[in-house]
Structure formats: C-alpha cells, structure tokens
Amino acid sequence: MKKNNISPLFAYFLGLIIGRGHIFPDSFSIAIEFSHHNEFSYGIAYCPNCGFLATKNKDILFCKKCKKPVSPKVRNVYNQPKSTTKSLVSSIIPFLQEEINAKYEIISSKSMTLLVMDFKNNKKQFELIRRFFGKENSFDRFHIPKKIFSLSKKSKIEFVNGLLDTSGFTSVGGWLNRDGKKGYGRMRAYFQIVRNWTLPVEIDNFLRKEFSLPIHTIDWGHPNIRDGNLRDFFNTRPTSWSREHQVKIFPEYYKIFHFRIEHKQRLFEELIVHNQKADFVNKEDWFPPGPISKKRLKPYHPGENDLRIPSLARRHFDAFWQINLAMGCSFLKKFIEKLKNPEVFSLIGKDENFNLVKLEKVLDAERKKITEEIYLQHKKETKEKKVKIKKAEKRIEKDLYSPIANYLKEALIQKYEENIETFDTSSVNLNAFLKDKSGNLLDLFTYCERFVIKPDVVGFLLDSRKMIFVEVKVTQLDLKSLGQLLGYCLVANPIEAILISSEKPSTSLIKILKAKPGLLSYSKGKRIKIGIWEENKIILLI
Amino acid sequence: MEKKEFTILIKDWLESFLKKRYSNTHDILRVIIPNTRLSKLSDSDIKKCKNYSAWDFKPDILGILKNKKNAQIELVFLNRSISALSLKEIGEIYCYSKLAGSRISFLTSLRGVSNEVNILLVNDSMRDRLLKYTVNGQIVIFSWNEEEKKINKNSIIPTDKREFLLQ
C-alpha cells in the first residue's frame, strides 16, 4: 500500500484510527477502541395500542400519544460487548486482513473492546501508517489526513464507515421533539469526539464538502454549551461540561454509509426507518446559522477560562456555531467573509450595521444580568449545600492539593535549582492535563502522552524534563494507598514520588515496610517516600 | 451480581483451576476466603512462611499450595471486584504479591479493566512493569462472564496466558 494509492479498505482503517486509535511506536502496535459505555443498548419502542413512539420517563416507557405505560419488551435489545466482538471476528478483522498484515488480538471489557494490531513482523507497513499521523499517536490529537480529500468516492465512504464504527453512536435517547408529516420524534445519531477540539469541525466540513450532507448541530464539551444555564455548576458538578463533543446527524441522510459493528448498524437502520416513516421535510442543517436572540444569550460560566479548553475556544460563546467558527469551520468563514458586517454577524448571527463596540457592551451587560439572576436564584441553595458538606467532612482531600503544590514548588526549587512548576492534577488524567495545558509544558513533556494516570499533585522539572508525583490522603496511609501510587510510578517512572497524608501512617504499613523496604521501590534506585502534612509542610517519615 | 455471590463463585473457579493446573507439581491444600489479615490468620501452613507476620493484608481469596518437590508453601492470591479495575486495584495486588512472593496472582472483575488501564496494558513493557512483581511471578487479569458463568476469554491479560487459564 503506497501512501498515494489508498484503497477503500485502507481508508476504512484510517477512519478507525482517527476515530479511536492509539499508535504505539515502541511496540510497533496499534490499538483501536470500540467503546460501549453500557452493556446493552435498546431499539425504538412503539406503543402496542396506537403505534406511537414511546419514550422513557423516570425509567418507565410511556406512549407519547396515549400516555399509557409500554412494556420494555417491545424494544430490540442489543448486547454491545458481544455484538462488537462478533463483528470484529466475523467482519472487521477478515476485511482488514486482506491488506493489513498484522497479528490481531481482541481484548474486551464491559465498557470497551480493544482491537490490538501487532506489526512487529511488518514494521514497513507500520511506518507507512504512522506517516499519515505525523508525530501524533492518539485519537485525541489526530486530524483527517489531507490525502483523504483526493480519494475515490468509494474510499471516502469507507473512511466515514471507519469513523462511524469507532466514534459513531446510534441511540434512541437522542431524539428531537419534532412533528413529521406522518409521525413524531426525530431520531439522531452522532459522532462522539473525545478531547479532540479540531476533529468535530473537520468531520462536519468533510461531510459537507464531499457529500453535501446536513449536520444538525455540534454539541461542544464547552461550559457555555453543555452547562449553558450553570445548573451543573451549582449542583456540585462544576466541570461536568468537560466531556466529549458530539456531531449530531439525522440518519436518513446517511444511508450511503454503514457500520460494520452489527448492533450499531441495526439500530442505525431502526432510526432511518422511523424518520423516513415520520417523513420530516426540513433538513435542519445548522449551516448557515440563524440569529442569536436576546433570549438565547448565555450567562458567563466560570469554566470559560479553564485550561482544558484550547486557547481558540477559551472564552465566552452564546451559540455552538460560534465555536465552530473559532475552531476553523471553512464554510462559516467563507459565508461570513461575504457579508457586509461579518464581525456583527459573528456576535449575534445577523448581518446588520451596528456599532461593534456598543453592541459588545450591550451584550456584555445583558449576559451579566442573566448571570446575576442565576447566581441569585442559586445563592440560598448553595449556602445550604456548603454547610452540609462542611458538616459531613472535617477536612476533604481536595483542600490539601493546592497548599501541597505550593509548598512542593518552593521545596523543589531549593533542591533541584531549576525551573519548577507544580500543579493540582487530580481532576484529569496526566496526559489530558498536559494536552489541555498546551504550550510549553506539553512540548517539554511529550513522553507523558501515554500516561493515563491521575496523581493528585505533579511537580514538573522544566529543565531536566522530569516529574515528581504526590499522592495525597486524609486518612491513615495503608497498603492500598501505597499500591495506587506504586501503580502510577510503575507507569511513569517519576524522579521522585511521595505518599502524603494529614494523618500518620497505619502501624501495619510501617510494619510491612520495615519487613520489606523493597516494596517502596518502583525503578532502579527510586523509592516512594512516605510523608505527613503537618503545619503546612511535608515531613518525610520514610 | 452481588459481591458475596461473586466471591463464592470465583473461589470455586480458583479451586478447580488450581487442581487442574497445579496438581501434578503441588498439593492443593485449600482455597479460602480469609476473614482477617494473613498475619493474623490461624493457619499452620501460612505460619511456616518466612516473614508471614508482616503480611498485614487480606486478599479476597487465598490459595495455599505445597510444592511436592521441596515441601515449600506457596500462595496464590485473587482479588475480585464488581466494578471496572483501575490502577489502584492493580497496585494493591502488586503490593500483596511482591510482599509475599505469591506463586501467581489474579485480579478479576465483572466489568473487566477500565478503559484507561486497557490502553496502558497494550504496551508490552508497560504491561510487564505493572504485572510482573518478580522474575517468575505475574498478575493475571480477567473478567467473569455472569451469563455464561465462565471467564471471558478475550478479557485475559496478558494474552499469552489465555491458554493457561482456559485449557
């Protein structure tokens, strides 16, 4: 397979990798994730009495028309892990084997099936595949290769099929409240894109350009979109917005594509049949976008400046399509360039001649007003919650991260005499933290890309590019807490690792470590240190 | 499935596995669900082990074998979980296994390993670092198929242990 001669099969393979692939250059292998969060997925339920759509309300199915409860037995049930393995064994692997010469292995759990392809005996093909992805090794950083745009129609379709098998999801739960000519409820499928902020727009633009297909919306994992009314923020889930992005589509326009994962294809067909029967006239394409009315303005969200959001989108947005524009949507860019008032349009979706400075002031004042109203509404509730939390826990672990990170920074500067940064990394995996952080840190610590681990505090030695892990507890340290940090150390081999608690270690841990001090070592000459957090400093005990 | 039910089920599995795999070389003395830490267990065979008094931990299931060649007591640990396995669980059994030098250790769950760990274990050297606690000792991970009441073949990690576990 030459790079400039991509077969439909190879295009499908590239689609799989871009959707959920990991490349492991050290072991000449590629792993492709087929995720299925729940063991079972369910087909569409129709009322046996009137044939109308039945949907869930508090876990019980009710007919949307006659309002009667409907037995869940009327739906098809799909066992996702089983169907995925079956599809891999009977369809996907035999298909790929025609051209991709590797050792294939399936590893499965209830939430994910992994296809691992070992290229140790075919390093040439492995290197050729790698070239399509430049220096990137994981799906959260991949782009659609430019070469895909010049392929035959058949190959482009297979490329999308590959994307669908890994990142495409069919779910009855994504229906929209719409009336068709002959039915109700419009079903949607979606591409689920994890942590990759460029791929949603790339997929949108690819489908639009190459197939003239409509996209309903992009549901961005951005605070203004996912938590636009601050509900989660006030419900002790302040970062719930930090989830995957979803490119939502209406399946009836996507019949040229098909899933090779059997249960996804069957459900996809169910959704198509439903929408076709209901007969919806409007394509409901988000492009070109409509105006943002005063009602649609969003309150300011404290998460807008979160470092997990790439700098291009790290600000306030009132509509999802504004993020599309920020993330480089070429269709929108061209559309806006032709307007008389492009800057005004990008603010309110209207091509009108407003004074831009005044308009921004008006919008800002309006958003502030909405924000204030929401804060007032939740103020009482939040106060009550805070009291409850304080009563429930004397000292929560989270409270220690920041002071420990600050103390560690000073201590490490003294010890290592180089530039040091320390962070509370507890909320996100280390690899994602670095990617979200972007800039210098990511460039210096590219070797951390594989570290899907979550130490509480990490110190970064910026000159020597080394790391120090700290695991924090507020209970007595025991073998379990040691095991957790040991796991992180075995994965990432930091220069130092410290297990700290505000309490003294349990006597059994001390006894164990006296008898077997080697238990603390995780690499040649490196051992976990045990410490106590007392009077705002770390006192090392072992 | 409840944790208790799973524990009993997986204890039975371990018992029959040890009989099948180790009877030629070992006497399978017993497979138990320890009710206390190994250091406090009133078990005369455990007390024959060097350093047992420092074993202040409790695996979910314990297999006690006697090597027919040298009459040494050898242990097999199994920890089980009903949720997906994370590095925490791997690290924990790694500590137990390294501390007591178990013959082999198992980690099992009804949900298999978490997605993050699954990806980590694909890498050969990473897998060795996380699962090999001595030159010969290794942790084997697998998920239990509730419906079919057997090990899910595709879940066994490292994959080269699949035959060892299933044949």
Domains in chain B: ranges and CATH: 3-166 (3.40.1340)
CB contact under 8 A, A109 and B54: no
The CATH code for residues A398-540 is 3.40.1350
> For A298-327, what is the mean pLDDT?
93
Nearest to A488 by CA among A530, A528, A532: A528
> Residue A421: what are its φ and ψ, rounded to 5°?
-125, 140
**Nearest-CA distance B68 → chain A (Å):** 28
SS3 B108: strand
Cβ neighbours of residue A85 under 8 Å, at least 6 residues apart? A106, A108, A113, B154
CB contact under 8 A, B57 and A105: no
Compute CA distances A380 → A51, A139, A238, A302, A513, whole Å: 46, 43, 17, 19, 49
- Distance separating alpha carbons of residues A352 and A374, to the nearest angstrom: 30
- Distance separating alpha carbons of residues A169 and A143, to the nearest angstrom: 20
CB contact under 8 A, B159 and A105: yes
**A397: amino acid identity, one letter:** E
Q: A-contacting residues of B 3-32, CB under 8 Å? A: none
Does pLDDT of A93 surpass 90? yes
| Cross-strand bridge partners of residue B105 | B77, B139
Per-residue pLDDT tens over the stretch A37-84: 888 999 999 999 888 999 988 789 999 888 889 999 999 999 999 999
Tokens of A63: 């007919």
Tokens of A444: 């210096």
In CATH, A8-191+253-276 is 3.10.28: yes
Nearest to A206 by CA among A271, A140, A162: A162
> For A146-157, what is the mean pLDDT?
95
> Residue A496: what are its φ and ψ, rounded to 5°?
-145, 155
**Nearest-CA distance A515 → chain B (Å):** 6
Of A107, A111, A484, which has the smallest distance from its Cβ to B87's Cβ? A484
Whether B123 and B150 have beta carbons less than 8 Å apart is answered as: no
Does pLDDT of A5 surpass 80? no
Q: Is the minimum CB–CB distance between B112 and chain A shorter than 8 Å?
A: yes
Per-residue pLDDT tens over the stretch A10-30: 999 999 999 999 888 888 999
Q: Domain residues of chain A, as ranges?
A: 8-191+253-276, 215-249+287-392, 398-540
CB contact under 8 A, B122 and A491: no
| Cross-strand bridge partners of residue A533 | A538
Confidence band, pLDDT 50/70/90 cuts, at residue A392: very low
- CA-nearest residue of chain B to A35? B115
**Nearest-CA distance B116 → chain A (Å):** 6
The pLDDT tens digits along chain B (167 residues) read: 888 899 999 999 999 999 999 999 999 999 999 988 998 887 889 888 888 888 889 999 999 999 999 999 999 999 999 999 999 999 999 999 999 999 999 999 999 899 889 988 988 888 999 999 999 999 999 999 988 889 999 999 999 999 999 87
Of the residues A77, A90, A110, the best mutation for testing chain B's interface (the one with the most B CB atoms within 10 Å of its CB) is A110
Q: Is the minimum CB–CB distance between B91 and chain A shorter than 8 Å?
A: yes
Q: Is the minimum CB–CB distance between B130 and chain A shorter than 8 Å?
A: yes
Note the pTM of the prediction, 2 decimals: 0.81
Calculate ∠ Cα A206-A212-A215, nearest 5°: 70
**Nearest-CA distance A485 → chain B (Å):** 7
Does pLDDT of A231 surpass 90? no
Q: Any idea what DSSP says for residue A506?
A: P
